[in-house]
Every structure is written in C-alpha cells, then in structure tokens.
C-alpha cells in the first residue's frame, strides 16, 4: 500500500481512534502454519505472501531500484501488519513493518501512526522483561508519524523467542498509555522468508 494512501486514511482517523486498542482486529485466514506458508517463498521472490499474521511484500529489483534511487536504507522486501478498527474495518489505525537494513542485514522495526503525535514522542516495544524505545523520527502534517529503530542481532533473537510483544503508545488525551499486541508467532519464519527473498 502506498504511503500516500496510508497517510490519507490515517489522517482521517479521529484522535481517540488510536488509543482504542481493544477495537483492533487481527488479520483473517490464519489457518495455515506460518512455517508452511514461508516455505513457498524462494530466493529472489517478488510479490505478496501471507505468513501467519504478517504479509510479506517484495518489489522486483527493478521497481525497488527505481523507487529508491536516492535512498539505499532498506532492502526490497517488507513484512507488514495492518491494524484496523473492528467497527469500521476499512479504517487503518496503525501499520507496522519489519524491513532489512541494506548495509548490515539487521532488522528495522517501523511503526506508522496517525499524525496525532509529534517528533520525539516515545513508543516502547516490550517483550518479556526486555524493551526498546522507539522515538518518533518524523511526522508529515495530516499524513502520518513514523517511529523507526534498528534491532541488534541479539534483540532480534530475543524478540523471536517470546510468545508476543507489546507496543506501548504515548499517553493519550486521558494521560494514560495504551498498548497493542505485536504477534510474534510465525515472525521467525516470516523474517527468514524475507531474508531468503532478498538474497
């Protein structure tokens, strides 16, 4: 999904919608095991593939090169998880991505949220007794706010072993923080498939 489209949808959300974590819906059609879904992703894969709750999307090398001529930060694939409001499934509340940093091969975790935040606001990715702070890197007015962090190999390995992670959001209008579940089941298989596709 293009950034502009995501941004327009995010910008249309009410401020309170971001904090209504209990109304978010998981993706459907998760009957297949993620390991089985991931096996279909071969080296050089391009296209889209559902792996557990995560959607793997890989541009062709040509499309990726053309779209990122001035930015070599990330590889051509991404794992995407879209959070929608249950009462209005067309409304996107938040988009999470895992991508591979092109220069090191490490994972980057990216959260795109409605533009109700500001640069420097802090999110926390929490799993078990560990956590990582994700500062909001930039906001595009009436489009989106984006928080990005690179994971060390150890942080990636630790994250993959947990049952689930949580993403704690900045305090809402009521002064309280909410958190959303970041499903880890199948993530190891999905990341392996993404790396295989990139190779």
Give the model's pLDDT for residue 22.
35
Give the model's pLDDT for residue 72.
81
Domain count, the chain: 1
CATH number of the domain bearing residue 77 = 2.60.40.1880
Rounded distance between C-alpha atoms, residue 86 and residue 91, angstroms: 9
Q: How far is CA 28 from CA 37, 51, 80, 113, in A?
A: 14, 11, 14, 22
Rounded distance between C-alpha atoms, residue 181 and residue 167, angstroms: 6
* pLDDT band of 8, cuts 50, 70, 90: very low
Instruction: Compute the chain's Rg from CA coordinates.
Output: 16
Give the model's pLDDT for residue 6.
38
* pLDDT band of 59, cuts 50, 70, 90: very high
Q: In this predicted model, what pLDDT tens digit does every residue of 107-138 receive, in sequence order? A: 999 999 988 888 999 999 999 889 999 999 99
Give the model's pLDDT for residue 32.
66
Residue 41 contacts residue 49 (beta carbons within 8 Å): yes
Mean pLDDT of the chain: 83
44 pLDDT more than 80 = yes
62: domain range? 3-198
58 pLDDT more than 90 = yes
- For the four alpha carbons of 187, 11, 140 and 66, in that order, the dihedral sign comes to positive
* pTM exceeding 0.85: no
* Alpha carbon 103 to chain centroid, angstroms: 20
Rounded distance between C-alpha atoms, residue 197 and residue 44, angstroms: 5
- The proportion of the chain whose per-residue pLDDT surpasses 70, expressed as a percent, equals 84
| Helix ranges restricted to H, 41-177 | 61-67, 153-161
193 pLDDT more than 90 = yes
17 pLDDT more than 50 = no
């Amino acid at each position: 999904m293009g950034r502009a489209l995501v941004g327009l949808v995010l910008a249309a959300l009410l401020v309170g919608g971001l904090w209504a974590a209990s109304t978010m819906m998981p993706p459907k059609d998760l009957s297949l095991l993620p390991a089985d879904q991931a096996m279909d992703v071969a080296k050089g894969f391009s296209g889209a593939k559902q792996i557990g709750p995560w959607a793997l999307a890989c541009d062709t090398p040509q499309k990726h090169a053309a779209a990122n001529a001035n930015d070599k930060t990330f590889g051509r694939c991404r794992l995407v998880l879209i959070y929608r409001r249950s009462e209005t499934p067309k409304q996107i509340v938040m988009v999470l991505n895992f991508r591979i940093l092109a220069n090191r091969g490490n994972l980057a975790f990216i959260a795109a949220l409605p533009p109700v935040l500001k640069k420097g606001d802090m999110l926390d990715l929490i799993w078990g007794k560990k956590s990582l702070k994700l500062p909001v890197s930039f906001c595009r007015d009436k489009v989106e706010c984006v928080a990005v962090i690179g994971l060390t190999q150890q942080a990636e390995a630790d994250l993959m072993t947990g049952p689930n992670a949580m993403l704690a959001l900045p305090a809402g209008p009521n002064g309280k923080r909410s958190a959303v579940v970041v499903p880890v089941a199948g993530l190891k298989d999905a990341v392996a498939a993404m790396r295989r596709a990139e190779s």
